[in-house]
């Protein structure tokens, strides 16, 4: 059984086909455009510290960057809570005619 605090990636090529076998990783960056140095990305980091202080996080840290600015940083639960809160605000505004 997979643990919730592990990062596993599954990929598929641009032409479709079979998906890869799950691969366990400690850090992952997803670039959202073709430029290698893009400032739009999502980073998932399962560890913190360096050298002797390097240790696994209880929950992976997710950082979302847009135009070089961090627009979110936190756990998966915090991300979901923020997304749900945003949906609730939009629904409320729609109900109020705003």
Side-chain-side CA neighbours of residue 39 (13 Å): 6
Query: Residue 58 domain-assigned?
Result: yes
Asked, for residue 22, whether it belongs to a domain, the answer is no
Residues paired with 80 in a beta bridge: none
47 within 8 A of 54, measured Cβ to Cβ: yes
Per-residue pLDDT of the chain (98 residues; tens, 9 = 90+): 556 678 999 999 889 889 999 999 999 998 877 666 667 889 999 999 989 999 999 999 999 998 889 999 999 999 989 888 877 777 777 777 76
The span from the CA of 95 to the CA of 98, in Å, is 8
Whether 39 maps to a domain, the answer reads yes
Determine the structural domain holding residue 38 and report its residue range.
28-95
Measured CA to CA, the distance from residue 67 to residue 52 in angstroms comes to 33
- Residues ≥6 apart with Cβ < 8 Å to 26: 7, 45, 46, 47, 56
Report yes or no on 60 lying in a domain: yes
Residue 48 lies in a domain: yes
Q: What is the pTM of this model?
A: 0.76
Instruction: Give the number of domains in the chain.
Output: 1
Q: Is residue 44 part of a domain?
A: yes
């Amino acid at each position: 059984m997979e643990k919730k605090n592990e990062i596993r990636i599954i990929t598929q090529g641009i032409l479709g086909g079979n998906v890869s076998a799950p691969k366990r990783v400690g850090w992952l960056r997803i670039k959202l455009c073709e430029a290698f140095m893009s400032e739009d990305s999502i980073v998932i980091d399962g560890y913190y510290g360096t050298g002797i202080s390097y240790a696994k996080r209880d929950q992976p840290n997710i950082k979302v960057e847009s135009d070089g600015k961090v627009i979110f940083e936190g756990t998966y639960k915090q991300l979901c809570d923020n997304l749900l809160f945003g949906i609730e605000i939009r629904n409320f505004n729609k109900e109020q005619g705003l």
